[in-house]
Chains A and B, each alone.
Chain A
Amino acid sequence: MASNHAPQRTPFYAAHRALGATMTEFAGWEMPLQYSGVVAEHLAVRRAVGVFDISHMGVLLVAGPNAQVVLNALLTNDVAQLQSGHAQYTFICNERGGVVDDLILYRIEPSMFLLVVNAINMEKDFNWIAAHATQPVVLENRTTQTAALALQGPAAARVLPEAAGLSRFQIARFTLAGCTGWTARTGYTGEDGFELFFDVADAEKVWRELLERGKPFGLVPAGLGARDSLRLEMCYPLYGHELDENTTPVEAGLSQFVAFDKGPFIGQPALLQQRKNGVSRRLIAFAMDYKGPLPRMQCKIFAGGQPVGTVTSGSYSPMLDVGIGLGYAEPAVAAIGTQIQVEIRGRLYPAKVKPRPLVKKHK
């Protein structure tokens, strides 16, 4: 990452400052960490509705008559199964089956796709697609032209009743406050909600409209802190923590997003072999047995006095009021209910392997 450059600012930067947000640098962007407080924002999203600036996310456009065929050779999920107006979660893998990135693929027209990718990987993904496309396609980086917001929470559909007809993972053209963009029923919190993509020129209008409409429903702006604690309760992976180029979707327990038997794609032989032979480590979710110090990335996991794994993400769960985490461990300890210990500042604290997600997801 180009950390020697000044961080980029989203079109909502001034709005965040005006709301008194604590800002933080994330993946080369100056983003709101919190406004009123991480826990308050987290609970507002679980109980009412919150709005997140997600304009740092990379937005790549792939289009043209070859787009489906090209993408299907680069992505693990089956693009041929994806209808126009729908989205799917998918991976770009390398030849070893390691994850280059995880992303949401939106098919907005039969021959036009939007890839919403991790900010930290945007340039890498762009170059990867350009280098590995087997046929000519249009490839454009739309990141800085796109203002993106996530409206998340059980009251989201009441704030945007015009979009309430969208089913989960659907996307459609959408006009709000006279501004036309795309709205999808997707998110990263486990709650009902929408992700909105507009032209940067319309950012302020859309932002003000959402805050105004959300008032009667308890809408709060929410920062990256709550975004992380919400996704952790849902056990959604975060690139650089649960996923990287040396970790496969099979190890991460995300094989349902790999269409092993579609036509050839990069990483397929390695992933097929791993499916057949099994994995040497698996992603586990765990909760601490009692309130205390919190598990953090790189804490060691023990079972029966032996080191068996490493924490990849850990924090406090506002819903469970206890420390929770994700980590990779030997398959022998991955069974639900297994008693483990997490080493925090040189001491072992008891925890148990739990089913994913750790908090019940919105249906």
Chain B
Amino acid sequence: MNTNTNPDDAKLSALLRQSRSSPPLPPRFQENVWRRIEDSEATMKSDTWLDVLAALVLRPRLALAVATLLVMAGALFGAREGNRMAQQDAQTQYMTAVAPVAMR
């Protein structure tokens, strides 16, 4: 490894460092930086099952697939129920025709 031991270079570096003007830090800069680091760590640690679920829900592909599945399941069960009700309607019509209330 090449280490720079030239005293002139060291002097030059010090001069350059002095010439570079660094802006003043805002008040309580360090404290704020630490707080932000702590906050981000806390957020990462508190990933509960609810957060995982919410993240899953927000995935467009998964959301679309689940929505499609729900619509199809609803339509299927609805069709079955509609069929059953139509059959029941027809049976009621038949009963009314062959056995009017007056006869029962």
User: Are A and B associated in one complex?
Assistant: no
Give residues in B with beta carbon < 8 Å to A: none
Give residues in A with beta carbon < 8 Å to B: none
